Structure 1
């Protein structure tokens, strides 16, 4: 029980806040149809991502790209672009283990670049990470406006990450590991399901159609239904908690810069997913909030779930490199955080 509470501290905190706020205010939180839609779409996305991970579609691509010249450049670029479509978590779970199997030095430095690339690339897509999916649905933003608002952020960090990866390749010649097994037949089924799911995410068809994803998967791959239910429960708890907070506190008209700073700094303490959930009810400045949680994914290890996944994978594969990973990650992570804050002052919305 203690291990579970430690692992799911965020869920426990959200649930405790929900219970205490309900008792203090003497009210039950109100959930509406939009909350259920976000949870359903997120669940379907998690199932699809789990299936693609299980059947090796992404990992086989990463294994192919590690061969030839500039493997670091290829793998960092792959992480950046894959994270837009299969989420930053799945991109790291597929690409990072391949990178850590390379024969060479300073692999923890390559892992740091891939973690940063996953955060930067996933920001550009509504399905790149959970907070983006939530903001996209919560505010009902058109796709072109959503991508256009955050594009300067992702496109600024892309060439920087590729340049750092190129320098890593120059300084750390490596040999590829043994080739990974190719994707199995199930990968094709998940790719088809993913394509069919895109109109749901983009709100071109009703959200309830997302229910067919887990129903279809239950017929041929029930193991893919073992997704992160704690994340779904955390979303549900935060929906109730923020409804209670909205009832207790009159939303303050914050300047977009205040929204941005609040989101970026709060992300350092509780990660960018709950930061987005907590602040969304108190502002209509969605571009500032989107920038805040995107920039806020850099910095501390807690700022993004992708950061924690990267550290866990390094610690499992190369435990002797874990301290060096932490040192390099925090050095670059805080540098990227400061760069992101400066970039927002120059080109950010508002």
Structure 2
């Protein structure tokens, strides 16, 4: 009896911890019942995307465990003076770092340090505002590069775009997002009721110097990953190098890879592959998506989050540009539009539990404003 109760609790905890993975597994299982497994399944999973995600997550886990990103943030906080300057520095840090270290790693690394530094101000409003800006910045800065977020890596691979084509496609939206972020922080990033104190000894203090050898090793693996993204090196080679580096330098980095995300990708690949083989379903979804890729991508992201939306819709359209722009802009909106946004919410809730409602309201309002502004930009660009 107790074993059965324990199993039910374990299942509930698993569902609560990763509902997107559970949904993906359920959908994949249902689709397998409709389309029995056969040799065609072997072509469903995009091994290149899975392999590249694994390699990049291993590198970021290794560098994070060395404290590289935390040290960089501490140096920045040590020189930031004034509420507005601190808010702007943190926002720009999330924006530009997410282009290379991904949006979720940027938020996992920098939001806790930001909360520590902002605590010296004693302004709940400014703290919520800054974390909201950092979250939006990470989600929008990451859209500029194929390695900035998981859906970009997948869509870049599937579309066979060149790096230059991808960058030029996203450049206007990236510059527009940057301008909106700077303007928002300049107008609202102040704390009129408090004076700027120090960043706090914990935030600005020096930390133990990380191993130079390990940093060089992970930097070399990251360079291999970038070469694979640019299709200059087989992704299999990068995966092998990442595994070797993890085994030799830091096995903990391999343990901190988000294997749930990899499993989510695989499950959605199976689901989409099977849906494409059901003629009625394929015709219906393709008809709904055709000519409305961006709007459907933005809307689907609000309820599915943009990574599953990208995988799902990619099976029913060849308009890669609209899908890339749509899933990136679709990361704005609801709290689950980009799963990385939940990282900021959870960390703020731990430090300021009474500010959760205020944060969600502010987050939703600012996300809606940024989404509206970038959709207007899309129309101006002739979308």
Quickly name the TM-score band, shorter chain normalised.
Answer: over 0.9
The TM-score with structure 2 as length reference comes to 0.86
TM-superposed deviation, 1:182 = 5.3
Task: Check 1:182–1:291 CA distance in 2 against 1; reply closer, same or farther (3 A cut).
Answer: farther
What is the aligned counterpart of 1:16 among 26, 29, 42? 26
Q: Which residue of 2 aligns with 1:184?
A: 210
Task: Within 5 Å, give how 1:175-254 maps onto structure 2.
Answer: 175=197, 176-178=199-201, 179-180=204-205, 181=207, 183-185=209-211, 186-211=214-239, 212-226=241-255, 227-249=257-279, 250=282, 252=286
Task: Check 1:21–1:96 CA distance in 2 against 1; reply closer, same or farther (3 A cut).
Answer: same
Task: Within 5 Å, give how 1:1-350 maps onto structure 2.
Answer: 1=10, 2-28=12-38, 30-32=41-43, 35-66=46-77, 67-69=79-81, 70-102=85-117, 103-104=120-121, 105=123, 106-171=126-191, 173-175=195-197, 176-178=199-201, 179-180=204-205, 181=207, 183-185=209-211, 186-211=214-239, 212-226=241-255, 227-249=257-279, 250=282, 252=286, 258-347=292-381, 349=383
Which digits, 9 at most, give the CA deviation of each residue in 1:2-27, with x for residues without a partner?
11112121111111111111212334
Task: Check 1:256–1:343 CA distance in 2 against 1; reply closer, same or farther (3 A cut).
Answer: farther
TM-superposed deviation, 1:38 = 1.3
TM-superposed deviation, 1:317 = 2.5
- Largest Rg, 1 or 2: 2
Aligned length: 349
Aligned to 2:336, the other structure's residue is in SS state: helix
Give the conservation status (yes or no) of the 8 Å contact 2:228–2:238.
yes
Stretches of structure 1 lacking an aligned partner (at least 5 in a row) = none
Mapped partners of 2:209, 2:100: distance in 1: 18
Give the conservation status (yes or no) of the 8 Å contact 2:224–2:233.
no
Coordinate RMSD, CA, aligned:
1.9
TM-superposed deviation, 1:300 = 0.3
Mapped partners of 2:369, 2:58: distance in 1: 34
Stretches of structure 2 lacking an aligned partner (at least 5 in a row) = 1-9
Mapped partners of 2:157, 2:345: distance in 1: 30
Deviates more, 1:62-71 or 1:130-139: 62-71
Deviates more, 1:322-331 or 1:238-247: 322-331
Deviates more, 1:283-292 or 1:28-37: 28-37
Task: Check 1:341–1:195 CA distance in 2 against 1; reply closer, same or farther (3 A cut).
Answer: same
